[in-house]
Amino acid sequence: MKWTQTLIPTLREAPSDAEIVSHKLLLRAGLIRKLAGGVYTFLPLGLRALRKVEQIIREEMDRAGAIEVLMPALQPPEIWQQSGRYETAGNVLFKLKDSGNREWLLSPTAEEVITTLAANEINSYRQLPKNFYQISVKFRDEIRPRFGLMRAKEFIMKDAYSFDTTDEGAMAAYKKMYDAYTRIFARCGLKTFPVEADTGVIGGNYSHEFMVPAETGENEVAFCEACGYAANIEKATSGIPKTAAREIGGAIEKFATPGAVTIEALSKEPYKVPANRQIKTLVYIADSKPILILIRGDDQLNETKLLAKTGAVAARPATPGEIYALLGAHPGSLGAVSLTLKFKLMDRREYFDELKNLGLIVAKGEIQVLADERLRGANGMTTGANEDGYHLRNVSMERDIKVTAWFDLRTVTAGEPCAKCGKPLKIRRAIEVGHVFKLGTKYSEKLNATFLDVDGSRKPSVMGCYGIGVTRTMQAVIEQGNDKDGVIWPLSVAPYQVCITPLAVAPKSQVMQLAEKIYAELTAKGVDVILDDRDERPGVKFKDSELVGFPIRIGIGEKSLAKGEVEIKPRNGVLQPIKSEDTVPAVMRLLEENMAK
């Protein structure tokens, strides 16, 4: 490709709304352009890199025995209602109406479509196992698109869905995809690490995410260097000890705490109750039902765990109005000590009518109290009295609070002991580029994807689903590979592997003739080459070549050519003068060495 024939609009400065380095470089190197928030055009070089990532994915999926299909981006809502996800995924679903006022959805993922296909086309165990994949445009109604391709409204995803006759078969399919993902990211030059993950709205019971370590990542990962344990913070657990037991120390005592409405205020003079001796009481509304959540004063609630453990579709903190109606006190003075709970004592129907008017579903005497495992057996604790300005001390979890269920609900923090080996956990930020889920029969049961087994019985297929954010992976490659001058592409996904930079571009000049000759020879050898035939100052050409990040640059100038030399500069290495007739073999050697890495 000749530079002047394509479009590479490099920029000196990134637009001010680009926050992270990879987003800035995507724009500065002329790889993408924004049309609207979260919606981008791929320019020629960006598209070339993207296609190379896609090709690596395609080759490895094919190698793993998956078969490529292409499903529609436009989906009927009925199948989403059938799977139960119309509501649960509702906040990210793009919905639109056609001229006949019929509703459609823009595909964020395709479990429903592929399971419907399997329900119609797969009837016998003889047709299984199967793993279908596609690489296609997906949509997400992101309220706050950001970081370029990282969190966009429209993006490209590879999604795959496996169907098996047994659980063991499904695990084998999962393992195959796990291994294929490891190869895919390695071939893209990306350092990734797999972590245990929450299964979220997709459902299922086994899941890993592939993470790229990056300070700008939107995920947090807890990991142990000693034993290799790694999990998304949404799912991570630790071996942190339970709250130390104390002497029960007599009956509950109420004491005045005017104005002290935070854990911190209560830990200071004159009360001096350490945070780890306080019970924090949170009120959440989970699927219209209020629940009380108890965690230790120095811990934080993990909302993802709350959803996972309760099976609730949605949960949000209750409003101060709802809290007052429920407990008769404001945040800062709340507690779950049985005797202080208003809804247990209330006999009046109007009280429950009032809650109903707020949209809350509460039966008399019935509200769930969920407590974090770390509080189990704790006593000598302090908590709110459900009366503004008062707290209770000498509270015993066992004696004084009726806990409906105990769960691990807290977020782990750095330094806590690993649950597996006891060494301190670390926490780092990361970008999720892929995920693998074992789904089980959740979708096949709801959408009737069944098969006749060898014994003549009809069974639901056991499914798995496997995603890779293709556009996000491409950006992650840049986030991981860059320096102050620009992008550092790995050879495998670089838009062009070699950039020839003649410093004099007059046609028929000796410099240009050599440039054309090397260009033709490398192209004939199957190398992706771009020839910078712009009539620009050397400084501009070198800067652009470094900014776009071509892995190898061949500089040809009149002065060095007079000595019979050209200059080869690997993007990530030092400039080497070389005899002009050795250029092509030298470049081929460099390419081979780098490909092998």
Which residues contact Zn ion (rule: CB under 5 A)?
224, 226-227, 229, 418, 420-421
CA 328 to chain CA centroid, Å, is 40
DSSP string, 485-527: TEE---TTT-S-SEEEEES---TT-HHHHHHHHHHHHHHHTT-
DSSP single-letter state for residue 251: S
Q: Which helix (H) or strand (E) holds 432?
A: strand 426-440
Q: Between residues 224 and 494, which has the closer beta carbon with respect to Zn ion?
A: 224
How near is the Cβ of 426 to Zn ion at its closest, in Å? 10
What's the CA gap between 14 and 147, in Å, rounded? Answer: 13
Q: 């838009």: which residue's tokens?
A: 495
- Tokens representing 397 are 């979890």
Q: Between residues 164 and 196, which has the closer beta carbon with respect to Zn ion?
A: 196
Q: Between residues 420 and 534, which has the closer beta carbon with respect to Zn ion?
A: 420
What's the CA gap between 368 and 62, in Å, rounded? Answer: 49
How near is the Cβ of 302 to Zn ion at its closest, in Å? 20
How near is the Cβ of 197 to Zn ion at its closest, in Å? 18
How near is the Cβ of 424 to Zn ion at its closest, in Å? 9
How near is the Cβ of 230 to Zn ion at its closest, in Å? 9
Q: Between residues 425 and 431, which has the closer beta carbon with respect to Zn ion?
A: 425
Q: Between residues 197 and 529, which has the closer beta carbon with respect to Zn ion?
A: 197
Tell me the sheet residues that pair with 531.
Answer: 2, 500
Q: 């800062």: which residue's tokens?
A: 332
Q: Between residues 208 and 277, which has the closer beta carbon with respect to Zn ion?
A: 208
What's the CA gap between 551 and 573, in Å, rounded? Answer: 9
How near is the Cβ of 422 to Zn ion at its closest, in Å? 7
Find all residues with CB under 8 Å of 475, minimum gap 6, and list them. Answer: 22, 23, 26, 147, 148, 149, 150
Q: Considering only CA atoms, which of 485, 482, 470, 468 is closest in space to residue 149? A: 470
How near is the Cβ of 417 to Zn ion at its closest, in Å? 8
Q: Between residues 118 and 224, which has the closer beta carbon with respect to Zn ion?
A: 224
CA 53 to chain CA centroid, Å, is 18
Q: Considering only CA atoms, which of 254, 253, 66, 73 is closest in space to residue 160? A: 66
Furthest CA-CA distance within the chain: 101
How near is the Cβ of 420 to Zn ion at its closest, in Å? 4
Q: Between residues 224 and 431, which has the closer beta carbon with respect to Zn ion?
A: 224
How near is the Cβ of 215 to Zn ion at its closest, in Å? 23
Q: Between residues 40 and 223, which has the closer beta carbon with respect to Zn ion?
A: 223
